Chain A
Amino acid sequence: MKNKGQIFLILSVIIIVVFLLLRGSVNLPDIIQRQKDTGSRFEKRFFSNTIDEFQKAIEISSKYDNVSTNIFDFANFTRQRMSERLNDLDFLFVATLSQRTGTTLNVSAINLMNKSINLTLTLNSTPSQSLNMDNFLDRTMRENTFTIAQGNDYTVTISYNSTYNENMTFITRNGFKYYNAFFDITLRSRDTSYKDKFQRTYRLIS
């Protein structure tokens, strides 16, 4: 009876060992992985809807001249709505707009990368032209122009933070208004993330 306290402690240890064995018999990492896979089945659909909708936003806006403004608004909308669901969006967007006539190429860039970046756009004209956008703040859009000759094909090299280089090729044709868009989108949730980079050309009717 003198050792009743120690017996109680030994019993406690035995109970703890039983708990640990029971818990160990359930393959916890496997269950967690299965839960993540299950969750990501839905997230992939939701992310696909989001990416499709960025492209539809351009098509919907194609009658108007404010396409990039709408994309900027839709990116902010998406990030705001996603943040309520504890999801996040990184978004870099570069677009060029060649008019039906003239030598002006409008350029717009949108940064929603969750950080400031140094972005450089270089057009392979002769001579080449560059736009340096240093300290390009998150949640901002910048617009500028290049000079082009109608009828030529061009490439804009998009580079930022010295580590990232992407080429966007596009055509210009007299009488046609082309909107060329480059998307770099990363969507993240607790269970999964999805990254996509793509380029599309749209013929505007405005």
Chain B
Amino acid sequence: MFVLEVILGILMILFIVVYLFRNPVSVSSSRFVDFKIQIYEALASLDKTGDLRKMAVDNNVNGIKTDLNPFLADLLSYEVVIYNSTANITNYPSNITVQNNTIAVSYFVSGDLGKYSPRDIRVFAWGFE
């Protein structure tokens, strides 16, 4: 009987622990969102100059990375990948690791100056705690 009651007690505690903490509360997620907004605003700033569209349509990832540098270099490690509707059309760098502290920000452009050519410019960033 004693063993049965011990097992029952442990199962009750385990059940409650799993039930209560199945959705862990993360208070640091607002920091991730702040970084995402910072990346988005950087992309929007480049878009206002007209450079972002041209580079995206030309699949010029290095140009976008260089132009993002003044906005992001001090804060994050990042890579840029350009997608069409179905897949990435520029190289997916091997140093992008999909893990909990990697964020991704998408910015759509439909083309540039008389050239319809939709692109999803995706910035992957990590290296913040």
Contact = CB atoms under 8 A, between A and B. Distances in A.
Given A60-B112, A74-B110, A4 B118 contact: no
A74 B8 contact: no
A77 B106 contact: no
Contacts of A137: none
Nearest to B83: A81
A interface, over-half SS? helix
A80 to B, nearest CB: 5
Given A39-B33, A42-B37, A74 B118 contact: yes
Contacts of B16: 16, 19-20
A9 interface: yes
Given A11-B9, A60-B115, A80-B85, A23 B108 contact: no
Interface residues of B, number: 42
Contacts of A41: 33, 37
Interface in A47-106: 49-50, 53-54, 56-57, 60-61, 63-64, 70, 73-74, 76-78, 80-81, 85
Interface in B108-129: 108-116, 118, 120
B59 to A, nearest CB: 16
Interface in B69-127: 83-86, 105-116, 118, 120
A8 B9 contact: yes
Contacts of B110: 53-54, 56-57, 60, 70, 74
B2 A5 contact: yes
Contacts of B83: 81
Contacts of A53: 108-110
B10 A78 contact: no
Contacts of A28: 25
Contacts of B115: 60
B9 A73 contact: no
Contact of A81 (B36, B111, B120): B120
Interface string A4-29: 11101101110110011001001010
B20 A4 contact: no
A12 B2 CA distance: 14
Nearest to B20: A23
Contact of A4 (B2, B30, B105, B108): B2
Contacts of A31: 25, 27
A61 B118 CA distance: 12
A35 interface: yes
A31 B2 CA distance: 41
A61 B114 CA distance: 6
B55 interface: no
Interface of A: 4-6, 8-9, 11-13, 15-16, 19-20, 23, 26, 28, 31-32, 34-35, 38-39, 41-42, 45-46, 49-50, 53-54, 56-57, 60-61, 63-64, 70, 73-74, 76-78, 80-81, 85
Top-5 shortest CB links A-B:
A5-B5, A12-B9, A57-B110, A77-B85, A5-B2
